[in-house]
Structure 1
Amino acid sequence: MVSEQWAVRAGGMDKMAMTGARRDEDLGISETISTSAPITPNPFPVNISESTSLQITTIWLNGKNFLQWSRSALMVIRGRGRLGYVTGTTIKPDESDPTYATWDAQNSMVMAWIVNSMEEDIRESYLYYSTTKELWDALTVAFSDLENSAQLFEFRNKARNLRQGDLDVRQYYNSL
């Protein structure tokens, strides 16, 4: 591992010595920096803090709010770096592969996040899927009304007939 010391001066940066320390004279701060070969990340990194809570959203899937629920759940899943399990881009390795146990644990964790954000009567029907992708696809087919023209007509009518009235701007905007 190679380390270098840098000192910041008014005239720029001067390379000092190979000690592993850096000093910023203007701020009176010194810190240790080092350079080494890049570390290859685990393809299925485990973050213990993400497993402490199975509730990923305050919005519970109730059968009528799939669009709002799915957007909220996907934001958290994406933020935790696990969107590939939902989309299917994180491929299930062979059971003989050394990464299988980690993949299986993380797939199960994402499935638990999703299932635990559903109302109980819906949850029971979705406990038996083996992958997050299968679970998400089944939920999308069952609850997504994006292609339902009657519902789109209803939404357009509500938006067209909505008036601000006694609502403040924030409430009116959220209603839209």
Structure 2
Amino acid sequence: MASIDVKGWKMDVYMSLASKNKDGFVDGSCVMPSKNDKKYHQWVRCELMVMRWILNSLEKPVRENFKYVRSSRELWSELLERYGQANAIEVYQLKQELGDVKQNNSSLVEYYGSLKNIWETLDALDPLPTCSCGKIDLCSCSLVKKILERENNAKLDHTNSDGS
């Protein structure tokens, strides 16, 4: 069955684009110049290249669903809309898996690595909400710090109740 490994795909592709200074095509900050602008044809070539990179990162059956998308921004948005939403079943399964992780005979590095992998996957699938009004810096009650401390304490609670 064709699918996208959302856990790492978005970060991998975005990092690849950013390393080539092409992330602006998918985040909307690189706007198409007018047709009479001397940079128009260069922009179009870059746009098509970004679309091809993204499409080539997909399995063929998934890629076929996007052959009529008109821009890399639209492609990126469609992919995130279709495949980037938190999958409740996958989140549930990961939380169950997290509860089953025990150190047993594994090294501390292996045990922590297993926990960290699940935590990071959960964070990618179901991230904490972010401020959309742009006024988070004006917050004087340290709400974000308190939320992050709570998340970290929950992780510590799991490691302390490991039962290994």
Alignment TM-score, normalising by the size of structure 2 = 0.62
Q: State the Cα distance separating 1:151 from its structure 2 match.
A: 2.7
Structure 2 partner of 1:103: 43
- Runs of 5+ unmatched residues, structure 2: 116-164
Measured in 2, the distance between the counterparts of 1:92 and 1:105 equals: 11
CA change 1:169–1:82 in 2 (3 A) is: farther
**Which residue matches 2:27?**
87
Structure with higher strand content: 1
| 1:154 corresponding residue in structure 2 | 93
Name whichever structure is richer in helix by fraction. Answer: 2
Q: Report deviation, 1:155.
A: 1.5
Task: Report the aligned-residue RMSD.
Answer: 1.9
Determine if the alignment matches structure 1 residue 70 to structure 2 residue 10. yes
CA positional deviation for 1:133:
0.5
Cα contact 1:63–1:122 (8 A) shared by 2: yes
User: What is the CA–CA distance in structure 2 between the aligned matches of 1:124 and 1:166, rounded to whole Å?
Assistant: 46
Number of equivalenced pairs: 114
Asked if 1:120 is matched to 2:99, the reply is no
Distance in 2, matches of 1:172 and 1:127, equals 43
Letter of the aligned partner of 2:45 in structure 1? Answer: A
Q: Quick one: distance in 2 between partners of 1:105 and 1:80? A: 14
Q: Which amino acid aligns with 1:158?
A: E
Alignment of 1:15-54 (within 5 A): none
Aligned counterparts of 2:82 and 2:42: Cα–Cα separation in 1: 30
Q: Structure 1: give runs of 5+ residues left out of the alignment.
A: 1-61
Q: Does the Cα contact within 8 Å between 2:4 and 2:58 map onto a contact in 1?
A: no
Counterpart of 2:72, as a letter, is T
For residue 99 of structure 1, report the CA deviation from its aligned partner: 1.2
Q: CA deviation at 1:166?
A: 4.7
**Highest relative contact order (Cα 8 Å, sep 6+), 1 or 2?**
2
* Superposed displacement of residue 128, structure 1: 2.0
Question: CA 1:95–1:141 in structure 2 vs 1: closer, same or farther (change >3 Å)?
Answer: same
